[in-house]
Structure formats: structure tokens, C-alpha cells
Amino acid sequence: MVASASDGVRIVNAVQRDYSPGEALGVKERQEREREATGRAILDAARDLFVAEGYQNVSIRKIAERIEYSPAAIYSYFPSKDDIFLALAEEGFRMLFDSHECVRKEHHHASALDCLRSGFLNVYRFSRDHQEYYALMFLDRSVPRLSRDWQRFAFVVEMRSQITALIQQAIDAGDFPEGTQAETVFRVLMVSIQGAAAMRLCDRLVPGEDADGLAQVTLEAALTGLRTGFDHSYRPSNFCI
């Protein structure tokens, strides 16, 4: 449901109700549907502007002009521009997590390593299929940190913990050398797949280059190196979003 901040409900992941053509709408239902449509329009306009012009260059007034509303009307939905971004980020991360199905769902005997491979490739696929969300979530350095609202993004922390636990399963199964740190594996794999995604999104590939193939081989190279083992001085720092 979409509701204003004053209603105590964040505008994110609005579910549009289906009404049959002949169904009469009451005043309350009509107003609710209108608020859902307006909230969605605000988020869509803001997302497009943030990506096209950069978060720091977009104002509430500019968003209002895009959808032909007054700035005051925008504030009745979101207290600030930062709140609009946080709603989009929450929506994007939920889309990212919901889009992945572990290979174990269809192949019960799949290893933890197989699940890791499919999970990190899903990050690349998300960057390809939802470019605007990905660019806003991972590439724009001017956006607010998600850590300002830990409760809202607790599900991100939980999902990350689940991935780290899966990596530890792979370590315990002997897929990585003894003593490998799960957090190191996570960071290396994420940086490798994010690099391939950023190269494609920023148009830094050779014309005609197979971006999907590059993402797969980059991830596989990172996995092979980690599984082989090598001396390095990298130590992951504390997790922050």
C-alpha cells in the first residue's frame, strides 16, 4: 500500500489492486488508488532523474516539475529527497533478492559453490535487467548511506549474512583452502562481478563485446584464484552499507 509519511507507512513496493471494469469504487478505494499511482509516479520520475543527472543535481522541485505537481505535493508523500532515494533503494534491493532462486531449488544436490556462482551471476543479471536501479544503488557516490536507517535495511544485512554463511559452507566442504575468510571471498567475488556490470553500464566495452560472457569468465577467474589459494595481505574491514 502507498501512504504518506504522516500515515507511518513508507512508499515502497506498492501493489496495484486489480479492479474489474464494472466494479464500482468507493471514495476511500478511489483515493487509495490515486495515492498509489501518484506515489509510483514520484518514485519513477525521481529514479530517472537521479540516474540521468546525478542524485546531488536533482531537487524536489525538479521532480515535481517532471510529473507536473507542486513541491508541496511531493512533500506530502516524502519528507525529503533522501527519503525518496531510500524508498527506491529498498525497492531495488528487494527486487535484487527476489530475483534470485538458488540452484538447490531445482537441483537438491547442488553444492554451496554452485549456489554462490548462481547468486553472484544474479547480481550481474540485475544490473543488466534493472539498469536504473543498479546505477542508483551501486554507482552514484552522492547518494545517502543506507546505514542511516538500519531497521529499514535490516533485510539487506540478513541476506548478506546468509551469503557469508553459504561461503563458509563451501569453505568447510573444502571448496576453498583451509583458513580462507568468508568475508574475503564475498568481497572479491562482489568486486569482480560489480566490475563487469559497471563496465557494461558505463559503456566501456569494445563494440560487439559479449558482456554476459565477460561477466561469467570474470567470476569464474575470481573463483578459480580463490579456490587455488595464494598469498595476499588483504583483510576485509567491517561491513557497512
Cβ atoms of residues 179 and 88 within 8 Å: no
pLDDT at 99: 87
Give the mean pLDDT of 171-193. 96
Residue 52 gets the label, from left (phi > 0), alpha (psi -120 to 50) or beta, of: alpha
Residue 127 has pLDDT above 90, yes or no: yes
Cβ atoms of residues 11 and 39 within 8 Å: yes
* 27-41, 104-118, 219-233: range with highest mean pLDDT: 219-233
Domain with CATH 1.10.10.60 in the chain: 5-79
Give the mean pLDDT of 87-111. 84
Fold of 86-228: Tetracycline Repressor; domain 2 (1.10.357)
Residue 9 has pLDDT above 70, yes or no: no
Please write the tens of the pLDDT for every residue from 39-92.
Answer: 999 999 999 999 999 999 999 999 999 999 999 999 999 999 999 999 999 999
CATH 1.10.10.60 fits 5-79, yes or no: yes
Cβ atoms of residues 136 and 55 within 8 Å: yes
Q: 23: which 3 cell numbers?
A: 466494479
DSSP of 43-83: HHHHHHHHHHH-GGG--HHHHHHHHT--HHHHHTT-SSHHH
Number of Cβ within 10 Å of residue 194's Cβ equals 19
Give the mean pLDDT of 117-136. 96
* 17-26, 98-107, 198-207: range with highest mean pLDDT: 198-207
Residue 168 has pLDDT above 60, yes or no: yes
Domain with CATH 1.10.357.10 in the chain: 86-228
Residue 6 has pLDDT above 50, yes or no: no
Three-class SS state of 158 = helix
Q: What percentage of the chain carries pLDDT values higher than 90?
A: 73
Residue 30 has pLDDT above 90, yes or no: no
